[in-house]
Amino acid sequence: MEDLFKLDEQYSQEELLIRETVRRFVDDKVTPLMEQAYEAGEFPTSLITDVAALGLLGMTLPAQYGGSEASYISYGLACQELERGDSGLRSFVSVQNSLCMYPIFQFGSDQQKDNFLKKMARAELIGCFGLTEPDSGSDPASMKTTAKKVEGGWQLNGSKLWITNATIADLAIVWARTDNGVRGFIVEKDFQGFSSNEIKHKLSLRASVTGELVFENCFVPDANLLPGSDIGLKAPLSCLSEARYGIAWGAIGAAMACYELTLDYAKTRKQFAKPIASFQLIQADFADMLTEITKAQCLNLQLGKLKQTDSASPVMISLAKRNACREAIKIARQARNILGANGISLEYHVIRHMNNLESVLTYEGTDNIHTLVLGKHITGINAFE
């Protein structure tokens, strides 16, 4: 779409190349699949090897671990382009990168890094991340899943709900309460006492696998405890910060798709013998959409620069995630309205983006939670409880 503020001049050649490569992949291979995948309620798993081949798994990690050593802006641009296709595919990539490979890289032993990361970068192993539980969502400190120390390992009991990739994952990064606080574990799919079930009948993120993880006296060997996760909840929260960074870019990708699709439509759709794009009220919608997309892109770019030098704070990331999700869903709803009746058809893609964004607004910290993060930062007063 139009680059009114010449942001492209701010990106490196490599970043632009990555964006164009992912954009072409999405236009050629992703978008054409999504209508059918969404209707069927199936994640197109054929795309997994494609995203691995493009180097999008472990993008910012060192080559030693199968990573692409790309900049955080490149990662953000990849998320933006993937979500132009569908939030489900971007969610898959976010989970593998930020919620699974990142904690192994950040908190794992050398052995764990060697065992898992290269295979995850090649998509030979798929991960999922279990933090949310049936009774513990916005308040992860209330988690009930326990890990009890036993000889040679740990015994896990409890369950995790609303977990992306749950039933296609080869391993789960699971957060459980121990006598010494919350710790992270790598639970492999064939461990005894571990099972997963898919959640059906979703009307959002239909082309993404979401499910439940169940632990019934599940034995996890000592070798699968993440040794660096001895900082309690700070460990999973740092993973969420990584993922929220990608979501800030991704949600705007969905908004860009809605804007582009609808602009073409409005220029050709005629009512009252004129293209609907000629009406002032419709133009006002487009003016709002372009303004909010551009503002969010500027914010993401600056956030990416800060992230690259490790100076992006969780508050900055909360602000960007909250802004991107709020504005993207507003833009999707405006676009849906401009399409009239066609707006509710999957053929026009916008309703799919709009419904997907309902999940993106909720996961990785709801709008309310990010509002409270900002409120606490601004006032110094914690209003969570």
Ligand X SMILES: Cc1cc2nc3c(=O)[nH]c(=O)nc-3n(C[C@H](O)[C@H](O)[C@H](O)COP(=O)(O)OP(=O)(O)OC[C@H]3O[C@@H](n4cnc5c(N)ncnc54)[C@H](O)[C@@H]3O)c2cc1C
Residues making contact with ligand X (CB under 6 A): 95, 129-132, 137-138, 162-164, 205, 210, 359, 362-364, 366, 368-369, 372, 384
The distance of closest approach from Cβ of residue 290 to ligand X in the complex, given in angstroms and rounded to an integer, is: 29
Strand-pair category, 171-178 with 127-130: parallel
Copy the structure tokens of residue 155.
């015994």
Planar angle of CA 120, 75, 124, nearest 5 degrees: 10
Q: Looking at beta carbons only, is 126 or 163 nearer to ligand X? A: 163
364 is catalytic: yes
The distance of closest approach from Cβ of residue 19 to ligand X in the complex, given in angstroms and rounded to an integer, is: 26
Q: Looking at beta carbons only, is 138 or 197 nearer to ligand X? A: 138
Answer whether 185's CB lies under 8 Å from 156's CB.
Answer: yes
Q: Is 271 left (phi over 0), alpha (psi -120 to 50) or beta?
A: beta
- Please identify which of the residues 242, 292, 327, 364 carries the catalytic annotation: 364
The distance of closest approach from Cβ of residue 136 to ligand X in the complex, given in angstroms and rounded to an integer, is: 7
Buried b (16+ CB within 10 A) or exposed e, 265-300: bbeebeeeeeebbeeeebeebbeebbebbbebbebb
Length of the chain (residues): 385
Q: Looking at beta carbons only, is 137 or 275 nearer to ligand X? A: 137
Q: Report the distance separating Cα 130 and Cα 284, nearest Å.
A: 43
Q: Looking at beta carbons only, is 133 or 292 nearer to ligand X? A: 133
Q: Looking at beta carbons only, is 51 or 361 nearer to ligand X? A: 361
The distance of closest approach from Cβ of residue 50 to ligand X in the complex, given in angstroms and rounded to an integer, is: 21
Q: Quick one: which of 135, 102, 356, 379 has its CA closest to 243?
A: 102
Q: Report the distance separating Cα 83 and Cα 69, nearest Å.
A: 22
Q: What angle separates helix 314-338 from helix 350-362, to the nearest 10 degrees?
A: 150
The distance of closest approach from Cβ of residue 54 to ligand X in the complex, given in angstroms and rounded to an integer, is: 22
Q: Looking at beta carbons only, is 175 or 348 nearer to ligand X? A: 175
Q: Can you tell me which residue has the tokens 């960007």?
A: 320
Three-class SS state of 299:
helix
The distance of closest approach from Cβ of residue 6 to ligand X in the complex, given in angstroms and rounded to an integer, is: 36
Q: Which helix (H) or strand (E) holds 130?
A: strand 127-130
The distance of closest approach from Cβ of residue 356 to ligand X in the complex, given in angstroms and rounded to an integer, is: 9
The distance of closest approach from Cβ of residue 206 to ligand X in the complex, given in angstroms and rounded to an integer, is: 10
Q: What angle separates helix 87-94 from helix 72-85, to the nearest 10 degrees?
A: 150
Q: Looking at beta carbons only, is 166 or 261 nearer to ligand X? A: 166
Q: Looking at beta carbons only, is 288 or 367 nearer to ligand X? A: 367
Q: Can you tell me which residue has the tokens 């892109």?
A: 297
Buried b (16+ CB within 10 A) or exposed e, 53-66: ebbbbbbbbeeebb
Residues 6+ apart with CB under 8 A from 73: 11, 12, 15, 301, 304, 305, 308
Residues 6+ apart with CB under 8 A from 274: none
Q: Quick one: which of 172, 250, 247, 244 has its CA closest to 215?
A: 172
Would you name the residues annotated as active-site residues?
364
